[in-house]
């Protein structure tokens, strides 16, 4: 479904966003302490908004998301 283009009467588009969430001062707390809860929260928020997560990576000091 990642390559499916959205369309209207006269337009077609394929829209992807690369989002990075760094904590304040890039503290290295994401991976160890909050990994499981952050995954659940991000998945829930994306499902509420109808956003498809194409890729996601959790690093020790930030989170990468590729969403469509």
Burial string for 36-52 (b: 16+ CB within 10 Å, else e) reads eebeeebeeeeeeeeee
Please tell me the predicted confidence (pLDDT) of residue 2. Answer: 55
Confidence of residue 5 (pLDDT cuts 50, 70, 90): confident
Whole-model pTM? 0.74
* pLDDT tens sequence across 12-59: 878 899 999 888 877 777 777 788 888 899 999 999 999 999 999 988
Taking the C-alpha atoms of residue 29 and residue 59, their distance in angstroms, rounded to an integer, is: 9
Taking the C-alpha atoms of residue 41 and residue 65, their distance in angstroms, rounded to an integer, is: 13
* pLDDT tens sequence across 6-15: 788 888 878 8
DSSP states of 30-43 as a string? HHHHSHHHHHHHHH
Say if strands 63-67 and 53-58 run parallel, antiparallel, or are unpaired. Answer: antiparallel
Q: Do the Cβ atoms of 52 and 67 come closer than 8 Å?
A: yes
């Amino acid at each position: 479904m990642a390559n499916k283009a959205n369309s209207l009467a006269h337009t077609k588009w394929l829209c992807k966003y690369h989002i990075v969430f760094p904590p304040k001062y890039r503290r290295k707390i994401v991976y160890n302490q909050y990994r499981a809860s952050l995954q659940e929260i991000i998945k829930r928020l994306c499902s509420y908004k109808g956003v498809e997560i194409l890729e996601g990576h959790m690093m020790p000091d930030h989170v990468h998301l590729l969403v469509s």
